[in-house]
Amino acid sequence: MPSPKAIAAQVRDEFLHAWHGYKYIAWGYDEYRPLSGKPSNFFLENHSFGLSIIEAMDTLYVMGLDDELESCIAWLRSHLDFDVDGDVQMFEAVIRMVAGLLTGYYATGERFLADGARDLADRLLVCFTKSPTGAPYRYANLKTGAVREPQMVLAEIGSNILEFGDLTRLTGQPKYVQASMKAYEAVIAKRSELDLLGTTFDVEKGEFIDTADVAPDEPVDSFYEYLWGGWQMLGLTQPRDWYRMLTNAIVKNKVTRVSGNLWFKTVNYKTGVPTGDTTTSELAAFYAELVAKGGDRDIGSAFYDSWTAALDKYELIPEAINYADLSIVSPRHWLRPEYPNSSFDLWFLTKDPKYRTTAYQYFQALRRNCRTPNGYTVLTDVRTRPMTQGDYFPAYSFSENFKYLYLMFADTPRFDSSGYYLNTEGKIMRGMRLCVDWC
Ligand code: DMJ
């Protein structure tokens, strides 16, 4: 392998290549399509929030790309506005935009970014306050405050305490963190006798509407991540105790080993009986780092190795596999960041060189297959040679994949690797060091 410094420089170059694609094709839009050269929007078809700009700010900061960061600030200064008559998905708006604006503020000290985060959060709070149980609705109209869709998956209910907790800290107003806690309480009160949870919760009726516990896979994944974060980042003991209780149940009822690899079974949350579905999406790979950070290091290490087996077999991890035989269920590769997310956290937790080796292996495969003349793009099929490229760059990759890889190798003074906490979208909520002149 090249030296860590050389790898960091390569990653930064590739990030810039992806970033220049966005700037050239879609500056000011949410996202870009590098093959057709067209912009696209994420939340609302006919309205852009400049999502990629918001998502990229703290990455630009830690990479030392200060001129690019200044362009982002300039654009946001004249365009940031959430008084928009449109229905926005609360979960995505919180983890991407509230967090992106907060971390942009931490990186630059630009107060209007924090004000923007607060304004957006205030417009989204109706999802919680209009719900009879406190578990949030899925969509809020940012202008009218109308809410809709009471049937919510767990990740969308329980991935906000980091952002709302920070807003409470910044503003002194308890309403934000209280909304998050009430949402957790509504769901966790309905756990089974086994301390397992279902997947979809009706926030008006206050009950699960299905019986499958798919943890740690999507769409429940970050529900568990934020419980641990509530403790690690905010020092709240109740989320820590919930995390421990629910994780004990997951470890006891769901761990399974197939051909030497560790996976998590989908089970009926009331009985613990396996449903027989052995599909898992790549999104579950984040759990290797979470379960290790939470104290179960052997499980985290083994689960990471299971995903490395999929990486070895397919060069890039497909969107979904059947863990019974590692066969492909969905051949797409949507530039998902969960595997390098685990490499990143496990590297800083253990300093085991395997995490750097495998992260570099992943990076090389990414560069070989997802690079286009106009940036980076997703793959629609990892089985073909060359792999088949799609026409989309998701904004989360500006916040996640390249950042994880860079920070693992860069040793930049702008990042405190011993005291950081990132949200589920890779935003550096804790751990950015401000040092304008000397780094
Ligand atoms: C990201 O938006 C976040 O990591 C989220 O928690 C789920 N995964 C997507 C990217 O795959």
- Cα 222 to ligand 1 centre (Å): 8
Q: Where do we find the tokens 């804790």?
A: 430
Give 22-42 pLDDT, tens digit per residue. Answer: 999 999 999 999 999 999 999
Q: Which protein residue has the closest C-alpha to ligand 1 atom 6?
A: 424
Task: Calculate the CA dihedral of residues 14, 18, 21, 26 and round it to 10 degrees.
Answer: -160
**Best probe residue, ligand 1, of 339, 400, 427 (max atoms within 8 Å of C-beta):** 400
Q: Burial level of 216, CB count in 10 A (0-12/13-18/19+)?
A: buried
**Best probe residue, ligand 1, of 91, 334, 424, 428 (max atoms within 8 Å of C-beta):** 424
- Cα 65 to ligand 1 centre (Å): 24
- The whole-model pTM stands at 0.98
Per-residue confidence (pLDDT) for residue 115, from 0 to 100: 98
Per-residue confidence (pLDDT) for residue 65, from 0 to 100: 97
What are the structure tokens assigned to 378, written together?
A: 């997703």
- Cα 437 to ligand 1 centre (Å): 34
Q: Which atom of ligand 1 is nearest to the CA of 155?
A: 6
Per-residue confidence (pLDDT) for residue 435, from 0 to 100: 73
Element (H, E) at 376: strand 375-376
Q: Which protein residue has the closest C-alpha to ligand 1 atom 8?
A: 283
Q: Could you tell me where the DSSP H helices lie in 63-143?
A: 66-79, 90-92, 99-108, 111-124, 126-129
Mean pLDDT over each residue of the chain, to the nearest integer: 98
Asked whether 394 lines ligand 1 (CB < 6 A), one says no
Give 56-90 pLDDT, tens digit per residue. Answer: 999 999 999 999 999 999 999 999 999 999 999 99
Per-residue confidence (pLDDT) for residue 240, from 0 to 100: 98
Asked whether 424 lines ligand 1 (CB < 6 A), one says yes
- Cα 424 to ligand 1 centre (Å): 6
- Cα 387 to ligand 1 centre (Å): 23
Per-residue confidence (pLDDT) for residue 438, from 0 to 100: 54
Q: Which atom of ligand 1 is nearest to the CA of 218?
A: 7
Q: How far apart are CA 197 and CA 215, in angstroms?
A: 8
| pLDDT of 436 strictly over 60 | no
